[in-house]
Structure 1
Amino acid sequence: MDRLNGKIAIVTGAGSGLGKAISETFAAEGARVVLTDIDMEAVTKVAEAIGANAIALQQDVVDEHRWDEIFAATADAFGAPHILVNNAGLVIPGTIEDCSLELFRKQTSIMLDGVFLGCRSAIKVMKSNDQPSSIINMSSMAALQGYSPFVAYSAAKGGVRSMTKSVALHCKEQDYPIRCNSLHPAGIDTPMVRQEAVGAGGGETPATGMIEIGELGHPNDVAALCVYLASDESRFMTAGEYPVDNGVLYKPA
């Protein structure tokens, strides 16, 4: 407990799935959390359940000006943030042959442009922080392996992987107190993965115990690593890419 005591975090896509789990875990570890989502009703419920150390804000991560408003609102509510988790995303099936340009751009705008805008806004604020800060970008195993049924999703997440390294190195070169790392989950038991278009099946994933290869992970498996990367415990780690995949990278299910 209290591994993030005194920290202020912003988590995008926090109305469900990974963003919800990350926000809840951050708060449990002592952080004050700003949860954002395009679905205001959903994200408000999550924030209210967390309590006084959380607020909910509506955000479309593709809206450039909204990012400045989010950081300003965070400062007004809690103070200057130390943590940003760029988590917002969606997945729409489509191979290289049948994915329309419209759907390709829709997915890359949210998951690549949105991460770019988030990182840029975070650096503008965090570079003046008097304690270490952390940007965590949610990529995917699709960035490491490719995933033919979801070409746009794979492209966006691949871009996040490379951009993360560029952001991290820039911050080091400028002597900013900011680390930047990417996470690469395999299938995690979230509403996005459970949707019919993705086709994940099976029973609910247990929160504890070992998970057989090929089964879905639990959102807390990702949230736990986010806590470490958000905390000062990971002060020597930047520009890294961290699979959360139960070995799938080396033994595809």
Structure 2
Amino acid sequence: MTRTIQQLFDLTGQVALVTGGSRGLGLQMAHALGEAGAKIMLSSRKAEDLEAAAAELKAAGIEAQWIAADCGKEEDIRRLAAETVQRMGPIDILVNNAGATWGAPAEEHPVNAWDKVMNLNVRGYFILAQEVAKLCMIPRKKGRILNVASIAGLAGNPSEMKTIAYNTSKGAVVNFTRALAGEWGEHGITVNAICPGFFPSKMTYGLLEKLGADKMAQGAPLRRLGDDEDLKGLTLLYASAAGKHITGQWMAVDGGVSAIIGG
């Protein structure tokens, strides 16, 4: 029998692991999944931030736990996957969101900073996706992987935005998503990417301060920055049965910026 729209978007009983989930876009995505019925495991590096984020989710009636882990370290990543399964059961939804950026002119960009960004933003995504797929998704022939990329991975930057490593890493995430979707479709796993534009967050604070939030908002066709709701709809679509025939895709959530820069 064909399901209703409410049934297609229902995540009741499913387990979602959200990295970089203690604040900002990760916490917004965790809210979306939890509000649809999923049980949430949050992860980031700082226990204090995670405890506060989990309390926020619980206050909204969402079942939530947390694990402190550094997704730039392979041993932490593998521990995170195993402990999530031990405490909550098999992982149905993985949100790869933990990330880093670095601002410097390309000719002066420190190589160790380049390595840090690429390690967390690309290598970490791969290792965690691999571990979760092997532990949970491939044996069960189902799963949803959401990779957070960025519109910075779709095109170059104006000269005042000197984030060469970040842009490169997010471009890699887009094609990593396509390649992984092609390989793992036979296992019933969908892999999709979200490309946020400019949202007020700790990661973008310096850039917004430098260029001016109002100026950046006016550069978008919708004339505003992203808010605390704007990722929820796409997150739920990718994670739920409503998106079961969507894989290997990216979508920008950016107020139309990528439409006018040719992304």
Structure 1 position 3, deviation (Å): 2.0
TM-score, normalised via structure 1 length: 0.89
> How far apart are 1:71 and its partner, in Å?
1.9
Contact 2:19 2:43 in 1 (8 A): yes
- The Cα of 1:67 is off from its aligned counterpart by 2.1
20, 33, 37: which is aligned to 1:26? 33
Residue 198 (structure 2) aligns with? 187
- Alpha-carbon offset, residue 199 of structure 1: 3.1
- Gaps of at least 5 residues in structure 2 are 1-5, 215-219
The whole-number CA distance in structure 2 between the counterparts of 1:24 and 1:234 is: 18
Alignment match, 2:235: 226
Could you list the per-position Cα deviations for residues 79-124 of structure 1 after superposition, in whole angstroms to 9, with x for gaps in the alignment? 1010000001122212321211111111111101111111111211
TM-score normalised to the size of structure 2? 0.86
2:47 pairs, out of 40, 43, 63, with: 40
Alignment of 1:74-89 (within 5 A): 74-89=84-99
How many Å apart are 1:49 and its aligned residue?
2.0
Q: Name 1:98's counterpart in structure 2.
A: 108
What is the letter of the counterpart of residue 201 of structure 2?
T
RMSD: 2.1
| Partner amino acid, structure 2, of 1:157 | K
Match of 1:208 in 2: none
Alignment check: 8 A CA contact 2:104 2:163 kept: yes
Contact kept, 8 Å, 1:189 with 1:219, in 2: the verdict is: no
1:71 is the counterpart of 2:81: yes
- Whichever structure has more helix as a proportion of its residues is 2
- Distance change (3 Å), C-alpha of 1:34 and 1:76: same
The equivalent of 1:121 in structure 2 is 131
Contact 1:12 1:19 in 2 (8 A): yes
Distance 1:200-1:4 versus aligned 2 partners, 3 A rule: farther
Identical-residue share of aligned pairs (%): 26
User: Which amino acid is the alignment partner of residue 170 of structure 2?
Assistant: K
The whole-number CA distance in structure 2 between the counterparts of 1:164 and 1:26 is 20
For 1:157 and 1:202, locate their aligned partners in 2 and report how far apart those are by CA, in whole Å. Answer: 22
| Aligned-partner Cα distance in 2 for 1:182–1:95 | 27
